[in-house]
Structures are given as C-alpha cells and as structure tokens.
Structure 1
Amino acid sequence: MNIRISVLGLLASVLALQSFAADTTRVVKDADAAGLKLPAGFNAAVIADDLGRARHIAVAPNGVVFVKLERLKDGKGIYRLEDSNKDGVFEKINGFANYIGTGIAIRDGYLYASSDDDVFRYKLNDRFEVADTAKAELLVKGLVNKRQHSSKSIALDDKGNLYVNIGAPSNACQATDRTKGSPGMDPCPILETAGGIWQFRADKLNQTYADGKRYATGLRNVVGLDWNTTVNELYVMQHGRDQLSTLYPEMFNDQQSANLPAEEMFMVKEGADCGWPYCYYDGNQNKKVLAPEYGGDGKKEDRCAGMEKPLVAFPAHMAPNALLFYTGNMFPEKYRNGAFIAFHGSWNRAPLKQEGYYVVFVPFKDGKPNGQWEVFADGFAGVAEVKSPRDAKHRPCGLAQGPDGALYVSDDVKGTIYRIAYKP
C-alpha cells in the first residue's frame, strides 16, 4: 500500500519542525519481505522509498531514522523519517542540510554527519529533532577530497573520539593512477593525508589534520566501520584494489584479477598498518603479497609479512559499504554481537558474474569471528544475475539498528529504506 503525505500533513510538519523542508517521498508498507530473501522467521518492510542516493543511516532511541544522501534531493542532504503514531508507516519525512556525503551517527544528544570534506554535528532535542538546522557545528574541516574514494564515513567510541575514514584518491599509488607501466610511488605520499582512519575529538570545533591523529594507515578506502562495544575496538572493512590484469597482463589473467584481492575486515588499534598500497591479500594463498607496482610477482611477501592480517577475507570487488555489530535482543542468540556487512556490489568481476548486492552476517565471540560468514539478506538487485551495476534495482549501502533490535538497510539506487525484523 502506497501512502502519500497530504498537504495538511506537510503543513503540520512545517509547523512542528520549522527548520526542516518537508518532502513528499512515498512511504510503503510491504508484508511480503519487501522482495528480499531472508532466513526463516525474518520479514522486511519498506519504510521509505524514492529518497535518492541514500548512503549511511542512523536510528534514534525513539525510532526516528536519519538518512545521509550522496546527492541532494530537493536541495537537502539529510532526511529525518518519523513514524509518529507507531503504525509502521514513516509518514513524516523532512529534509535539511545543503551538502552531500555518506557518514551519519547519533551519540550523546547530537547528530553527526559528514560531507566529502568536513564533519558536522547538530544538537538534538528530546524528540530527536534537530534543534536548529541552521546551526551546524563544524567539527573537522579541510579533509582530502579528490573525487575518487571521497566519502568520509564516521564512527564514534564511548570516550568522546570521532573516527573518520579518509579514502586514498588512487588505486595503487602509481605515479600516474591506473596506468599500465606507471610505477608505485615509494614511499606513497598519499598516506600522509589519506588512505587510513583519522581520530578527532567529537566535541571540539574547527579541527584540522593538525588537531587529529592518523589512527590507522594502509587502508585504500573504508566506507564501512563500527566501534565494537564488547571489546571497545574499531573494526573496518577495506575496499581492495582493482585492475591487476589490466595493468599487469603478463602476470594476471582476467579470472585471477576478478578473484583478487580479497575485501578485508580488520580490527584496527592505534598505529595499525594494513598494507595498502604496497600489499594486497590473496585469499587463495591466505597471505599478504607484494603488489606488482612495488616489485611483487603474485607470490612474494617481502615487506607485507609484517602487515596487519584481516580477521575475515571476502571475495574480491564486492564493495563493503557498511559494518554494524548487532547488540539488540530481537534477533536469535546467534546474531548477538555478530557483524552485519552491506555489500554494495561489484562492477569488475568479468569474466565471472558480478557479486555482492546483499547483506551478510559474521558470527563473533569475544571480538573475534566465530564461524563462517553467510548471506543474510539477498534479492536487493531484483534480477537473477547482475551483469552491470546498472542492472541492479537496489544496492545495499547503510546499516543501522533500531531501539527494538530491528535492522535497517539503506539503498543508494532509489533511496529505499528497509526494516528487517524477526518474529518466529
């Protein structure tokens, strides 16, 4: 059933939230798993649709959902969704902020959000409304943004620290990016200001690189990251490099390139070095090997032997865009403290079929993987086989946990927001 917000409803929203710009986005209830394939006992509903390029999401303790957009919709980059009468329909959808981006989080009475250059925060009232959308506090400014890997994903710990991914604007730190025959720069100058996780204070205004610290390095691009409260450590998902067969056809065929390198999950402590651009993880050999730009032959470890090893290695090029450790009580015990990962989906696995376009689950115990990963939610793409990302009707991008333990998933093709619940 599709429900459009009425004109009276819009007027009421404007009166109640004068600083928000109301929207007429469709809100949908779907009793048929919203087209998703889920384990027994789980169901899904679409709580919002047509939001546009919905990236990461955050859910407040009262169930209000905040969505960060990669492209502005009606001039707004953040949308607030509210189910005011708790009937499962999020009938109040209002937008604010005039910048694009990916990161969004709620912590200690504030909404945190990132553009591709900066990080902001907004004071929330007791209804989890932004008290004044015109008063965004600028926390961090002037971060590297050269279009490639430009999103600034964020996470917060319980000690007042803010963690920001600064992706490397490069594939493998070649002198000329993605060019056959161009050598890797050594040392890689990109690592001074990108290719890692930076730590800043969550309550200090107008910070720059000089105010923060490079918390972890050697990470080509991390879109999905989360602070694990069971062990109080930061976990990240790295996007692996591309184009091994294109740049080095004498060493790699297309099938090898489709399978290399692995997408990696790390627990990163301060000072961790995960190896990019000098190294990549070969899931077939179960080891880090030296990249060809730095004299590697597909087998040699060299300096890579001492780099951080992944906790989990996933198939290549699936694009992990969100990581969430589940702490709720709604789902069965096996999911408690485990990790959900949203894989956005590949574009470069030819001649193999494209892969990803689903949400997976990794069981955890005491902060370490405790079993094999499995596909948890599939069917987002809406087609039997994805030959190109353009084929996919939906691509999972963001994850959030609701106060009741439901799992929310965002899609950045149409801006569909799913709510996945468990009821045996």
Structure 2
Amino acid sequence: MKNTSLRLLLPALAITGFSLCISSCSNNDKKTDQTTTTQTTADTSASGAGLVLPSGFTAAIVAENLGSTRHIAVTPQGGIYVKLSGLKDGKGILYLTESNGKATVKNAFGNYIGTGMYIKDGYLYASSNEEVFRYKLDANNQVVSPDAPEKVVTGLISRNEHEAKAILLDNSGNLYVNIGAYSNACQVKDREKGSPGQPGCPILDSAGGIWQFKAGKLNQTYKDGVRYATGLRNVVGMDWNKSANQLFVMQHGRDQLHELFPTMFTEKQSAELPAECLYALNKGDNAGWPYIYYDWQTNKKMQMPEYGGDGKKEGDSKYKDPAAAFPGHLAPNGLLFYTGSQFPEKYKNGAFIAFHGSWNRAPEPQAGYFVVFQPMKNGKADGNYEVFANGFSGSAENTAKGSATHRPCGLAQGPDGSIYVTDDVKGNIYKISYKK
C-alpha cells in the first residue's frame, strides 16, 4: 500500500478490526514500506469495555468517573495510585484497591493538580506543575502520612503551556523530570505567522528538556539539578527501559507548519508532520528542538522554518536520531516497557504507547486515541508498530472530528502482567489482560 493511501486510513481506525504498521527508524535511517495487516476481532467481554484488541486479549473497566486521571502506578500488592490533573473533592491523588474486577477508592490526598506518578524504593513520587513530592510507603506500599509529603524539587517553570511534569526514577537514585517548553517553536512571537526563531532559544536554559535530580534529596531547585537531555519540546510519556538500562521518552512534535508558514507547507503536510518521536536518551543528548523536526515519511531530520528551513532543507546531523517515529500530532502521553510474563513472548521488553489524540490535523480528519505496541530488541525499535488497543474514541466519526468519548493517557503494569490504561476524559481505568 502506498503511503498516501495508508495515511487516509488513520482516522477510520477508531473501531475497525485493523492494525496499523508504520516503519520504525534507526540511526541508519533505513526506509521501510508502510503496510496494514488484518487485526483480530473486537473485545466482546461482558465488561463492555468496548476496545478492539488482538486475539486472546480482553479489557475491563475497573473504575469509572474518577476525574481527570493522568499517570498511574500499581504496587506489587495490586494497589493503584492515580494522579489527577484537576482536583476532585479537593484532592489530586487517588488510591484504589481492586476486588472481583472492580477498583474502589480507599483514600484521596494531595491538594495539588498534576500528571506525574511513580513508585520506587519505598516511596510514592508525585508531581504538580511546579514541584515533585514524595510519600513514605509502608510494607504494603500504602502511604504512611498522606497529609505530610516531603518536597523533593520546587520552583520548576510552569507557564500554562506544556506544564505537565512527567517523572521517573532509575536504579541509581536519580529522579528525572520533564520540563516542557512554554512555546511551540521558540519564535520571537509565539505562534505568530512568519515570526522567526529566537536566537539561541533562551527557553532551553530552563525548559525544553529532561532534568535530573537526586531522588533522596529534599527541597532541590534548578541549581541542584542537571539538564540531562535537551532539545525536547515536550515529553509526557517516559519510562526506564530495563533491558537497555536507559531512559526513553516520547516527544510531542511542534504544531502549525502551514498556518505559520503557508508558502512552505501545505495543509496536508501540516496535518501529518512532524513526527511524534521515541528517543533513547543518554546524558548530554540533544534532540534538536527548536532547530529541527523529524519527517517520519522520509526518515530525515529537517530544518525548522523558524531557523532557516523551507520544508526541503535537511537539519544538522549532530542532533539525536529517534529510535522510532510516528505520524504527527497524535499526542503520546504514556510510555510503558512491558516486562511481565502474562502476555505472549513477542511483547516482552517492547513498548506500549498511549496516544491521547490530535486536535490540529484539520482540514484532514483527526487521529489517534489508541494504544500502540512498538517491538523492541536490545533497546532499539525492531520493526513496525501496531495499534494494540483501539476504540477509546467511541466511533470513527468521533475520532475524525476530535471529540473522543475517552482518551488514553497513563500506562502501568500490574503484578500479574496485565496493563492498566487511564482515560482523562471520563476518568476510567481500563485493565487489559491476556488468557491463553
């Protein structure tokens, strides 16, 4: 199938029985033809979760109407912690326990909104849009003093654009925090037609990257942290790849190529570009924002129009190549490397990505609102990705017009190897399981 035909299929995938496979990219920039393959029948479990899944998988809605559920963490005992981006009854963190297929809220605490949620080394870590907190856990991984968190990091930039602070911990006592750029493309006048880029992009001094702090040190500020990786416009989905012992992130690509530079980009190009990219990061890496974007159709780094690009000029090769690239504006908000044994072997150490869905592909149909699976091998993308869980939007029509009933956001793996998916529209939590 030609690339053009495939791209027209994107919005129709909301409730169909197809799996979409897009070529992954590597440091060799090899181009692979895009193909579609027939997927399996829809989930028909009695739970009524309404998702389209591969054969042998089922989905259940274990909780509903929780609020704006963002990232999620599940304990070895099966307890579920969820962060809310809006307070519910004055609280921003929920703790649930699951019994007979339903999860019940047992506790609510934290008087701040946010996105990040992570469990590591006896603590629950949670972020607001400006700070990172931690709560001591007992032997059952329940919070000891929910009204007395310790403040780990404070004073982070939050300027009402890309303010969500995704968080992650490694095995060496380090805390990683996304600080999104408060800009689309670092223009002198943000999102103004034809405005050039700011020389040197001063935003990168305090945003547009991943910062590293010490997980066990309290009251840290920027001066205590290290800018671990830069040139990342905004990251919401991030995870530690255990097989590679490396930080991986999903970047949200820039918007409005045609609207801001109509003589260089068509509306269709603007709807499909740039790529949403998966990066494998090491300390000191630079992914290139705002100087370059990645074209998933040609597997090339391209120079941004704000910095002298014209849609044809390639970008500087010094910037990081993505491990995999996906169509534009799908909004990757969750990333999870699967380490369980419940799912078939092909999923082991592969990446699940929750695409929250687009708002800016017009006049093309909107797209996304699904969870995909990207095969991985030795810490690198290994072949095409496939749509794994579809149907969150409610219908193909809902997808096309961008009015999804549900939008996947956070991902977590349960102790039995199932995966949990949050929905930040209705506040549902889905549990996806496999049975041989």
Give TM-score, length-normalised by structure 2.
0.88
Residue number in structure 2 paired with 1:265 = 278
> Once the two structures are superposed, what CA deviation does each residue of 1:117-148 show, in whole Å capped at 9, x if it has no partner?
00000001122221011110000000010010
Map 1:74-153 to 2 at 5 A. 74-83=89-98, 86-153=99-166
* 1:358 equivalent in structure 2: 370
**Cα distance in 2 for residues equivalent to 1:371 and 1:285:** 16
Alignment equivalent of 1:309, drawn from 315, 321, 326: 321
Q: Could you tell me which runs of 5 or more consecutive residues in structure 1 were left unpaired when the two chains were aligned.
A: 1-29
Q: Of the candidates 235, 239, 249, which is equivalent to residue 262 of structure 2? A: 249
Q: What's the RMSD between the two structures over aligned residues? A: 1.0
State which of 78, 82, 88 in structure 2 corresponds to 1:73: 88
Separation in structure 1 between the aligned mates of residue 435 and residue 326 of structure 2, nearest angstrom: 30
Shift of 1:365: 1.1
- SS of equivalent residue, structure 1 residue 354: coil
% same residue: 62
The amino acid of 1:316's aligned partner reads G
**Residue 33 (structure 1) shift:** 5.4
- Secondary structure at the residue paired with 1:289? strand
1:218 equivalenced with 2:235 (yes/no): no
Contact 1:32 1:43 in 2 (8 A): no
What are the ranges of 5 or more consecutive residues in structure 2 without an aligned counterpart?
1-44
Could you tell me how far 1:383 is from its partner in structure 2?
1.6
Select 1:59's aligned residue among 71, 74, 77.
74
Could you tell me which amino acid in structure 1 is paired with residue 327 of structure 2? P
Opposite residue 263 of structure 2, the aligned amino acid is E
In the other structure, the counterpart of 1:342 is 354
Is the 1:397–1:409 contact (alpha carbons within 8 Å) kept by the matching residues of 2?
yes
TM-score, normalization: structure 1?
A: 0.91
Cα distance between partner residues in 2 of 1:262 and 1:94 = 40
Are 2:51 and 1:36 equivalent residues in the alignment?
yes
For the Cα contact (< 8 Å) 1:112–1:121, is it kept in 2?
Answer: yes
Say yes or no: does 1:48 pair with 2:63: yes
SS of alignment partner, residue 387 of structure 1: helix
In the alignment, the residues of structure 1 paired with residue 297 and residue 425 of structure 2 have an alpha-carbon distance, to the nearest angstrom, of 33
Shift of residue 388 of structure 1?
A: 3.5
The 4+ residue runs of structure 1 with deviation greater than 6 A are none
DSSP-derived class of the 2:71 partner: strand
1:374 aligned partner, one-letter code: E
1:256 Cα shift? 0.8
Structure of greater relative contact order (alpha carbons < 8 Å, 6+ residues apart): 2
Tell me which moved more, 140-149 or 88-97. Answer: 88-97
- Indicate how the Cα distance of structure 1 residues 387 and 93 shifts in structure 2: closer, same or farther if over 3 A, else same: farther
Cα drift, residue 32 of structure 1? 4.2
Distance in 1 (CA, whole Å) between partners of 2:178 and 2:431 is 26
**Paired residues of 2:295 and 2:302 also in contact (CA < 8 A):** yes
Summarize deviations over 1:353-379 as a string: whole Å, max 9, x none: 111100000111111111210000000
Match for residue 385 of structure 2 among 361, 373, 382: 373
Paired letter, 2:383: G
Alignment pair present for 1:407 and 2:422: no
2:189–2:195 contact (8 Å) kept in structure 1: yes
Give the letter aligned to residue 192 of structure 2: T
The answer on whether the counterparts of 1:31 and 1:44 sit within 8 Å (CA) in structure 2 is no
1:387 is aligned, of 392, 396, 400, to 400
Separation (CA, whole Å) in 2 of partners of 1:342 and 1:328: 18
* Superposed CA offset, 1:12-51 (max 9, x none): xxxxxxxxxxxxxxxxxx7345110100000011111001
1:331 aligned residue: 343
Match of 1:422 in 2: 434
Deviations 1:297-323 (A, max 9, x none): 112125x22110111110000000010
Q: Which amino acid aligns with 1:238?
A: Q
Q: Give the conservation status (yes or no) of the 8 Å contact 1:104–1:111.
A: yes
Matched-pair contact (CA < 8 Å) for 2:302–2:311 = yes
Return the letter of the residue paired with 2:97: E
Checking the alignment, whether the CA contact within 8 Å between 2:232 and 2:289 is kept in structure 1 is: yes
The question of whether the paired residues in 2 share the 8 Å contact of 1:52 and 1:73 is answered with yes
| Separation (CA, whole Å) in 2 of partners of 1:98 and 1:240 | 31
* 1:284 and 2:297 matched: yes
Alpha-carbon contact 2:367-2:400 (below 8 Å) kept: no
- Residues 388/52 of structure 1: CA separation in 2 closer, same or farther (3 Å cut): farther
